[in-house]
Chains A and B, each alone.
Chain A
Amino acid sequence: MGTATETDRSGGSNRLDRRLLLERLSSYWLVGAGLFAVALFGLIVLTLVQQSIPIVSEYSLFQMMTSSNWDPAADEFGFLPAIVGTIYVTVLSMAMGTPLAILAAIYIAEYAEGRTKVLVSSFIDVLAAIPSVIFGLVGLIVVVPFVGDYLAPAVGAHSIGLGIVTVSLVMAIIVTPFMISLSVESLEALPDELRESSLGVGATKWETIRTVLLRAAGPGIFSAILLGFGRVFGATIVPAMLIGGQTAIPESPFDAGETLPTLIVNDFGELMSIPLTQSALILVGLMLLVIVWIFNFGAMLVRRRLQRRWQY
């Protein structure tokens, strides 16, 4: 018994040393891991900035953004068609996706109950996890013929099926699960007293939702929409598969076109022999990063500001 305590004690001090050493080593590692996030971001920004210097020093940024002539072989770098295409796709997808997402979020948060609710929200999670290439493939099989044969003739436009509308239809579905889950989260965080007092003074369920709940959950929903904008903006695979790749400014939404990410996909790799092209495409990547950053930052600011203004 006595010897056992002896060995325990000596072993214990040894073990304490080991534990403290592990503590010290692990704290270095964890601080490193925490800083890794910042370092990674810094490294990405620095690399992209440094690599896009050659093109910016050669041509003015304004000139590149407003020129519609993209012909790297002739040293012409105009981003305008891609910028117009990106704006088209983003605005159209969000115009279709946002109401859909908000209404579906209202359904899940306010109407659905019990098992239906669990089932519907886990289906939404599944939708969020489906890879975008699969959406692209199904788009090719289903949406392209639909747009080319029915939708475009119905509104009197001509379309080969591939084009901005096709991409927007698919992207509108892809962004919804993401916006739904954020909106549902902020709707469900609201206290039940809000619902009870609104219903108690005689408002209908819809009036409660429209005038009280959407307002109180507004900051969260707003930032979900802004984050959704960022998502559509940076979407790559679906536009690359469905937009049809055309380096001219699209005349109608049914035209083929290009977006900033598809510009990168189509030209990277093939044109690496021309160093300026590489630099121009990296500049496009940097632009994507900065704009998405603005959307994210805007979402954060909006949430903070509106939270103060729309207090309940």
Chain B
Amino acid sequence: MDRYTEQRLFGFLARASAALILGVLVMVVGVTLWRGGRVFVTDPAVMVTAPGSRYMLDGGGGFLHAVLGSIFIVVPATVVASILAISTAMFLQSDYSSERTSDVINMFLNVLWGTPPIVYGVFVLTIIIAVGAQTSLIFGTIAIAIFQYPIMTRYADEALRAAPDAVKEASYGLGATRFETARMTVRAALPGVIAGIIMGFARGIGDAATVLFTAGRSTQMPGGPFDPATTLPILIFEQAASFNAEVRSHAYAASFVLIVAVLALILASKLLAGRFARFAPGGRHS
């Protein structure tokens, strides 16, 4: 094979690989929307109906419990995790810690970032057993927050690192304290930070392994923070292979809701990042 044939072959292979991956993406989104959409067409109320008493057996009612569970678990978790993540990212800037400390903490964050979600689930369940509580909404929130924290910290840290030094220098030059300067830096890096929070939210709402043992896999409406709850991914996981077609169809409808939510979040993160760019020096509207 001469070098030009080789060049053409690998050029083709590179294009084909990218096309294959995009094709799979289109297929995944397409199959989910098609299967879930069909369920919504025949039974539009399935998302806003509470589950019946024998839900796992006959699929009576709808999956409002999972929609509400997802919201009640992931929204507070995102709030807690983003506050912690932004604080950690602030700390990792040179003002509060030495280069060495930052490196060490970054190493731990990388390890946490790569930790399989199931390990967080096991960890939180161990704590639940140790304190003698039952699996419930609040522990699901804790597990998701722990899962989101390293993801958001990485985004926030990258965004703060990319913020121009001029912001920091100007702020110190005007006599601002470290905290005031850190706040200015966060403001300058807001597009990246917001994008990180939304991506963390999207990852949190889609993850099943962390909440599988901690939120309680309930098939009833969530009662309160100490009652068992369930989320959309758990519902899909449990019902996708059910023998009852009705129960299975709810998994399809739930995955429709989930994928629309995730796609909307990604879109929102792109749009919001553009909007908040006006706070960044050199941003679109400054």
| Interface residues, chain A, with chain B CB atoms under 8 Å away | 19-20, 22-23, 26-27, 29-38, 40-41, 43-44, 47-48, 51, 99-101, 103-104, 106-108, 110-112, 120, 122-127, 129-138, 140-142, 173, 176-177, 180, 204-207, 209-210, 227, 230-231, 233-237, 240-241, 261, 264-265, 268-269, 272, 278, 281-282, 285, 288-289, 292-293, 295-297, 300
Contacts and interface: CB of A to CB of B under 8 A. Distances in A.
**The 4 residue pairs across chains A and B that have the minimum distance between CB atoms:** A234-B116, A131-B206, A33-B87, A34-B91
Contacts of A36: 84, 88
Given A133-B233, A204-B7, A103 B17 contact: yes
Residue among B14, B112, B207, B270 facing the most chain A CB atoms (10 A cut-off): B14
A47 B126 contact: yes
Interface residues of B, number: 88
A205 B96 CA distance: 47
A34 B236 contact: no
Interface of B: 3-4, 6-7, 10-11, 13-18, 20-22, 24-25, 27-29, 31-32, 35, 84, 87-88, 90-92, 96-97, 101, 104-105, 107-112, 114-120, 122-123, 125-127, 129-130, 146, 149-150, 153, 177-180, 182, 199, 202-203, 205-209, 212-213, 233, 236-237, 240-241, 251-252, 255, 258-259, 262-263, 265-266, 270
B20 A40 contact: no
A140 B32 CA distance: 11
A51 B126 contact: yes
Nearest to B240: A137
B119 A288 contact: yes
Contact of A37 (B29, B112, B116, B265): B112
Contacts of A293: 111, 114
Contact of B108 (A37, A104, A129, A261): A37
B40 to A, nearest CB: 16
**Chain B interface, >50% SS class:** helix
A43, A124, A127, A285 interface centre (most CB from chain B within 10 Å) = A285
Contact of B118 (A26, A123, A133, A285): A285
Nearest to A127: B25
A134 B35 CA distance: 12
Contact of A137 (B32, B149, B180): B32
A99 B14 CA distance: 10
18 contacts: A23-B179, A30-B182, A40-B112, A47-B123, A48-B119, A101-B17, A103-B17, A120-B22, A123-B22, A123-B25, A126-B25, A127-B24, A129-B203, A204-B4, A237-B209, A261-B118, A285-B122, A288-B119
Given A37-B109, A111-B15, A236 B262 contact: no
A33 B85 CA distance: 8
Contact of B10 (A23, A132, A206, A295): A206
Given A48-B122, A137-B236, A296-B111, A236 B21 contact: no
Contacts of A104: 14, 17-18, 21
B248 to A, nearest CB: 9
A236 B258 contact: no
A177 B118 CA distance: 21
Given A125-B266, A138-B31, A37 B14 contact: no
Contacts of A137: 32, 236, 240, 251-252, 255
